[in-house]
Amino acid sequence: MIVIFGALAGAAWGGYLAKKRGGNRLDIAQYAASPAIAFGLLALFASIVLARVL
């Protein structure tokens, strides 16, 4: 659940940045994909740490 939320939040943030900078649809897709992957990985590591601690 945390991973999905992290990926969606990253995609929304990246899409917002691309839209703000005047990108076309492909720019928005690329800007959305890279933070989605990064935030998803961060959330994955956070969920692993939480599972180990709790």
Dig out the tokens for 32 from the structure: 């959305």
Please state, in angstroms and rounded to a whole number, the distance separating the CA atoms of residues 48 and 17.
Answer: 29
For residue 19, what pLDDT is reported? Answer: 95
pTM, 2 dp: 0.86
**Per-residue model confidence as pLDDT tens digits over 8-49:** 999 999 999 999 999 999 999 999 999 999 999 999 999 999
Dig out the tokens for 2 from the structure: 């945390």
For residue 38, what pLDDT is reported? Answer: 97
